[in-house]
Amino acid sequence: MGVLKVSEGYPILQAMAKFKRGTIVWLTAGGPQMTAGGSAESGYVECTWFTNGKLEQHTFHEDDLQDSDPRPPSGPISISLI
């Protein structure tokens, strides 16, 4: 959490967003690549993505999202033996 000072000198705790607007995110359980939008409320992120050319939108809890693709890489994997 960050601290925001107000004119009276009293600190206000302000939650830091886990994902910035425009960050590419995935559900931790897998799914399509999505774009994080604004925070709907504390701890929740509005996400948008396309399915078959149709714009989709939903709000997810930030703990259910990650900024790296959870799927295993596709294609050949090289292993070096020593």
Residue 71 pLDDT: 78
Average pLDDT over residues 22-39: 92
Give the count of domains, the chain.
1
Residue 75 lies in a domain: no
Residue 12 lies in a domain: no
Dist CA 60 CA 39 (whole Å): 10
**pLDDT tens profile 39-63:** 777 889 999 999 999 999 999 999 9
Residue 9 lies in a domain: no
Domain residue limits at 45: 17-66
Residue 41 lies in a domain: yes
CATH code (residue 58): 2.30.30
Residue 80 lies in a domain: no
pTM of the model: 0.66
Query: If you count them, how many residues does the chain have?
Result: 82
Residue 77 lies in a domain: no
Residue 5 lies in a domain: no
